[in-house]
Structure 1
Amino acid sequence: MTTPAAAPGDDPNQQPGAGLRADAERNRDRILAAARRLFAEEGLGASMASVAREAGVGKATLSRRFATRGELINAVFADRMDAYATATREALADPDPWHGFIGYIHAVCAMQAADRGFADVLTMTFPAAKALEARRAEAHEGLLELIDRAKATGNLREDFTDRDMPILLMANAGVLNAAGDAAPDAWRRLVAHMIRSYATPDAPIPPLPEAPAPSALYRAMVRLTHSPG
C-alpha cells in the first residue's frame, strides 16, 4: 500500500514558526474539506483513514488535528448545527406559529437532503462532540416551544410530540438514501404527506408536490435493490 506523501506541516524536522503554523492551518482546512466531501457522499461511516487519504495527509497529522471521530464530526458539522438552531429560532420568530412549524419541518428536511452526512448527524447522538450536542439541545428546546405554540393555534394535532421529529428524520433519511439521484425530490412528497398527518382537519396546508415519475421510482428501486448490504 502506498503511503501518502507528507503534506506541508507533516515534517517533524520542520522548524517552528509562522510557516509551520500556516501549514498546520492549511492541513486542518484540507482535512475538514475532505471530511465534508466523504461524509456528504458516504455518510458518517467514512473511516478516519479514508479522510486522511482524501485530504492527502498522514494519519498522524489527522490525529494531531482531531484526536477522535467526535472532534472531527463536531468541527465538520458545527456550521450546519448552527443552521439547525437558526432554523428553530426563525420558526419561533414567525408571527404565525403554524406557518413557522411547517417552515421548520421543510428547512430541516432540506438540510438532510443537501448533505447525507448531516442526515446521519440529525438522527444520531455524539456524546463526545460536546459543542455539537449543545447546539442540538438548544434546537430541541426551541422545538418544544414551537410545538406548543403551533398547538395553541389549533392547527397542530394535540397528539404530536417532539418524539415524532426523529421518526420523521429517520423516514426522510431512508427515502434520501433509497432514492439517491434517481428521484432526488422524492423526500418533498414524503414531507408534505407527513405535514398533512400532523395537521388538524381544518388546518391550512401547503399543496402536495408532484409524485416522482414512475421511471424515476423504478430507477430508485433498482438502485436500492443493488445497493451493497
Structure 2
Amino acid sequence: MSAPSRPLRRDAQRNREALVAAAKGVFAARGLDAPLEDVARAAGVSIGTLYNRFPTRAELVDAALIDTVEASVASAAQALTAPDPWQGLVDHLTAIGGLQARHRGFTDICVRTLPPDSATEQAKRRGHELFVALLDRARAVGALRPDVDTSDIGLLVWAAVRATDGLREVAPDAWRRHLAIVLDGLRGTAAHPLPGAPLSPEAVRDAMAFGQRES
C-alpha cells in the first residue's frame, strides 16, 4: 500500500488555489486550449510553478472544470424532479445553453475526454445517464418526438448557442430565442418524419470540435 500523500505547504496550497481560480477564468473566456502561460500569469506564478502543481493540462482542466460540470449534473438531477417531464427537459437544456454561452471551456469539455478516473469525466458520465433518463421520461408521455436521440439534441443546443457567438457583446441572450425555436421543433405533437438517421456521438463530437477550431 502506498503511503498517504502529504498535505501541501501553505505557500504551495495558495499557489494551487490561485492557479485553479485563474484557470477557471481563462478557460471560461478562451476555452481549454488557452496558453497555460496565461493561466500562470493570471495566477501570479511562474509557468514552472504551474507544472509543478499540475504536470499535465488534463489535471488542470479537471481541477478547473469540475465545479461547472457538476453544476450541469445537478441541473439534470433537478430537472428529473419536475412534475412536467417536458418542462424539466426544457429547463435543463436552457441551463446547458446558458453554461455554453458564458463558458467556452464547458463547451469544450462536452466534446473532449479526460482520463476516465478523473472527477470531471466521472461527473460527465453521471450527467449523460441523467440526460438519457430525461429524454426517456419526456418521450414516454409523448412530449418529445420519438425519432431524436442525445446526439441530435446535443448538436442542436450547441448550434443554437454557437450561432449567436458574434452577437455576444451586443445581445448576450440572443441564444435563448434560437434555442426556443429548436425546442419547439423537438415537441412530439405534430412532428413530421425526419430524413436520415441521427449522427453517432463520435460524429457530433467531431462536428463541435471543428466549430471550435474555426473560431
TM-score category (smaller protein): 0.7 to 0.9
TM-fit CA distance, 1:176: 4.6
Partner of 2:182: 194
Partner of 1:148: 136
TM-fit CA distance, 1:128: 2.6
Q: Which of 112, 136, 139 is equivalent to 1:125?
A: 112
Instruction: Name the structure, 1 or 2, with higher relative contact order (CA <8 Å, separation 6+).
Output: 2
Q: Deviations over 1:168-226 (max 9, x none)?
A: 243144235322212211110111011011002369xxxxxxxxxxxxxxxxxxxxxxx
Match runs of 1:173-212 below 5 Å: 173-201=161-189
Partner of 1:163: 151
Count of matched residue positions in the alignment of Structure 1 and Structure 2? 187
Match runs of 1:1-229 below 5 Å: 21-122=9-110, 124-128=111-115, 130-201=118-189
* Structure 2 CA distance for partners of 1:90 and 1:159, relative to 1, 3 Å: same
Whole-Å separation in 2 of the counterparts to 1:91 and 1:81: 15
- Kept in 2: contact 1:175–1:186 (CA 8 A): no
- Kept in 1: contact 2:100–2:158 (CA 8 A): no
Compare 26-35 and 174-183 and name the one that shifted more.
Answer: 174-183
Q: Deviations over 1:123-152 (max 9, x none)?
A: x22233622111111111111111111011
Identity over the aligned pairs, expressed in percent? 38
Q: TM-score when scaled to structure 2?
A: 0.79
Q: TM-score when scaled to structure 1?
A: 0.75
TM-fit CA distance, 1:29: 1.4
Structure 2: segments with no counterpart, 5+ residues: 1-6, 192-213
Structure 1 residue matching 2:119: 3-state secondary structure: helix
Structure 1: segments with no counterpart, 5+ residues: 1-17, 204-227
* Structure 2 CA distance for partners of 1:22 and 1:117, relative to 1, 3 Å: same
